Amino acid sequence: MSHRPFPGRRGVLRGSLAASAALTLPVGLGAAPAFARSGRPRADWGVQAGDVTADSGLVWVRSDRPARMIVETAATESFRNPRRWHGPLLGAGTDFTGTTRLHGLPAGEQIHYRVLLADPDDPRRTGEPVTGTFRTAPGRRRDGVRFLWSGDLAGQGWGINPDVGGYRIYDAMAKLDPDFFLCSGDNIYADGPITATQALPDGTTWRNITTEEKSKVAETLAEYRGNFRYNLLDENLRRFNAQVPSIVQWDDHEVRNNWYPGETVAASDTRYTEKSIDVLAARARRAFGEYFPLSTLRPGAREGRVYRVLRQGPLLDVFVLDMRTYRNANSADDRTSDPQGILGREQLEWLKRELARSRAVWKVIAADMPLGLVVPDATEGKPNFEAVAQGDPGAPLGRELQIAELLRFVKHRRITGTLWLTADVHHTSAQHYQPSRAAFTDFEPFWEFVSGPLNAGAFPAGALDDTFGPERVFVKAPTASNVSPAGGYQFFGEVDIDGDSGELTVRLRELDGTVLFTRTLRPGRVGQ
């Protein structure tokens, strides 16, 4: 398959690892390591790049004190004739995080960057540079695109375990050298405290690195920020971030399990003193925007929203959905009219417009909730539903009405090359949707691929809802609930688009990179 080679990419990461040496995990149990405050600013949390396009990208860093962010870019890791970008002043208002936008970059090229943190009172005093690299999206079709996706990190109390090497899945993903990583939500588990140990079924013990902010459910802004910092204690993740740019969306656990706008935490849930979900979500959203390089949530960005489209050259557009912020309340989901649904009217109309505008061969819809898998919500002690499907195999009801409207639009506007990627359900599977099997038939066949978790409890596969005619072509899931990462069932997916033929190949992989399932789709072909 035609995919451009990029040699020498990992050499640039040596400086990044050296600069983050202070984050080495402790040998024994206990809290996260303390930081020595030297005389110059330090970037011990590594660097990240995100929302990269053919000519732009965002670079993120966190300082250990007030500092001016400076980014230098070059065509090679020797940094001859670097281009300099002056970023923001990092301070307590953003938890000392900051993002700098790079623009006017060459398409389809490897960009080497290094971040320097300067003393705001003496710009000549800078800390050790922290290096990273990313590829801009291709300007030519023949270059091809390869990316990975997954979700669900540090869930169900399974955190960074030094005994097993921490978040090892990131090393397996890095070896595939993808153009970017699509994180499909549940980047943190703000409602899931991390304790020092957890008992395993075989009588052994799972050990966690712990921090103060992860000792309880997150309620304050500081606690939400601490949840994002927790994951950056893992060396595998920091190394991955310096090598692979991200496209990040959120789901429920960035705030609280199965949340929706306007919800009130039940009085019986004594873990929470703040009962307003809207208050909690506002704090979580702020921390989310501070800890990821997001084009729409960075300070000064116009949109201020999570949903967006990232154009990745002639072959691919990625439509990132937000199925949290605009949804209606979780319910029995059996209404015959539901204009708000799971996306909200404004986001749905945006998605239709952007799909119609797209000239990319493939249009990936990144959904943080699956379409045809029934996901119950027992949070309030009622038989409510969390995702789109509600188990009724008949005509669309409730949130299914919005999806039916979208699928009908795609068919009648003759939009080709759509496929859905998601996570959330803590197993991996492939579903093919076919009108001949469905109660609602006014759509063209399409695929939905599910992956995850990255490092969280694994769960059995749930039932399918036949409204849109899904067939589960492949699934790997445990038979028991909340199987620890020590028991396997940790997954990620790969998408590889060939530049010559335009064919798109999906591979579902497990923790060590082993391929479990492969499917190749042809561009413009209906019913494949």
Residue of 223, 213, 284 lying closest to 250 (CA atoms):
284
| Residue at token pair 């004739």 | 81
In the chain, what are the domain boundaries?
10-135, 153-346+360-403+422-441+449-521
Strands 130-135 and 110-119: antiparallel
Residues paired with 429 in a beta bridge = 450, 475
Q: Are 280 and 258 in contact (CB under 8 A)?
A: no
CA 244 to chain CA centroid, Å, is: 13
**So what's the pLDDT on residue 525?**
72
Q: Which two tokens stand for residue 294?
A: 């997001």
Model confidence at 142, pLDDT cuts 50, 70, 90, reads confident
CATH number of 10-135: 2.60.40.380
* Model pTM score: 0.93
Q: Which helix (H) or strand (E) holds 172?
A: helix 169-174
Q: Which CATH class name applies to 153-346+360-403+422-441+449-521?
A: alpha beta
Rounded to the nearest 5 percent, the helix, strand and coil shares of the chain are 20, 30, 55
The tens digit of pLDDT for each residue in 215-270 reads 999 999 999 999 999 999 999 999 999 999 999 999 999 999 999 999 999 999 99
* Burial call 51-80: b when 16+ CB within 10 Å, e when fewer: bbbbeebbbbbbbbbebbbbbbbbeebebe
The tens digit of pLDDT for each residue in 13-71 reads 444 444 444 444 433 344 554 444 558 999 999 999 999 999 999 999 999 999 999 99
Q: Report which residue type is found at 423.
A: A
Give the Cα separation of 356 and 409 in Å (integer).
Answer: 9
Peptide bond before residue 453 is cis, with ω within 30 degrees of 0? yes
The tens digit of pLDDT for each residue in 271-292 reads 999 999 999 999 999 999 999 9
Same fold, 10-135 and 153-346+360-403+422-441+449-521: no
Cα four-point dihedral sign 194, 28, 129, 94: positive
Q: Are 499 and 142 in contact (CB under 8 A)?
A: yes
Q: Which two tokens stand for residue 166?
A: 């921490």
Q: What average pLDDT does this structure show over 6-13?
A: 42
Give the Cα separation of 58 and 72 in Å (integer).
Answer: 12
Phi and psi angles of residue 135, each rounded to the nearest 5 degrees, phi first: -105, 135
